[in-house]
Amino acid sequence: MPENRFSLRAVLAGLLVAGPGLVGAVPNGRLHELARAAGKLYFGTAVDNPEINNSGYRPILGNKADFGFITAGNTQKWQFTEPQQGRFDYGQGDAIASFAKSNGQMLRCHTLVWHNQLPGWVSSGNWNRDSLTRVINTHISNVAGHYAGQCYAWDVVNEALEDNGSFRNSVFYRVLGTDFLPIAFKAAAAADPKAKLYYNDYNIEQAGNKQRQALAIVDIIKRGGARIDGVGLQGHFIVGQTGSRDQLASVLNQFVAKDVDVAYTEVDVRHSSLPTNSQALQRQADDYGSIVSACLAVQRCVGITIWGASDAYSWVPSTFPGQGDATLLDRNLNPKPAYNRVRDVLAAAGRGRKRSARVEA
């Protein structure tokens, strides 16, 4: 599904559609502040390098009150950071890290081991167990070591599972079996010991074979003697197919029962047909409300990240032709009903938390 969910091609296409000087009406939004008041650690968005150089979009992405948490959408992946064996390039990833730091935003680093966006020397290499283990360890030691102390969390392994719950036939799995999971997590812990270490995947937000296998991955990593701090549930939903707050919270709690944190890491809710209408936008708002409410209902759900703030820069249309308008801001960077619903749900939770604190006092 999200093979190229944050491709530079999609981002650049959005920039051409939106234009460089477009300015929306949300610079004073405060979703992150409301999430903090509601007891969560953050509310954030993914960004990519062309976006932070766009004069209209940059102030929105850099507004800490709205998005206090930034995920590097693309340029910390293997094809960018080690395009040739032993030759590391951090320029584009550093630009994202510097953007977050300059705005006082937390940074999620993404991702160390993924079957996609691998340079050919990795995916086509003639590896055995020892040589591929050295490649993984060297890559993670260098990349996570370079960003050590800058990342709240690392998505250490990304999307190791097929949609049916079987392990993906990646170079890592073919050579190492499931051992590549604890190998990667051990290397990440050594390179960036203060960062939270996550397994991240899509279609694990609702009960099913893939979700159950993701639960098993937590056990595999721990049995391998490695530390895992959290599971990222990406949250790429379709309008009307999201599930209720209670259904979503039940799945979150199944992961929490494994003694890990959880987070929604890549949320968007796409319309299956376009153009939208007021009724469809309201259904989308309801779905966003359910997602946020589910996280609020689970103490160890630490936060929510949306996979791009505006429809103008979304990965969805290039991957699912005829679908889209999946984010909180429209193509003119103005808030949609979904944005307002997220704001209202977070604000209500914050007010309830204050009332409870006064009663306890």
Residues carrying an active site annotation: 159, 266
Rg of the chain on CA atoms, in Å: 19
Q: How far apart are CA 286 and CA 339, in angstroms?
A: 11
Vertex 209 angle, CA 117 and 252, to 5°: 85
- Compute φ and ψ for 270, nearest 5 degrees: -90, 145
Q: Which residues pair with 201 in a beta bridge?
A: 233
Amino acid at the residue 253:
N
Judge contact between 108 and 152, C-beta under 8 A. Answer: yes
CA distance 92 to 104: 19
Q: E strands, the chain, where?
A: 42-47, 69-72, 106-114, 153-158, 196-201, 230-233, 236-238, 261-270, 301-306
Spell out the residues 6+ positions from residue 84 whose beta carbon is closer than 8 angstroms to its own.
119, 121
Exposure string over 140-157, b if 16+ CB within 10 A, otherwise e: beebbebbeebbbbbbbb
Of 228, 221, 222, 154, give the one whose Cα is nearest residue 191: 154
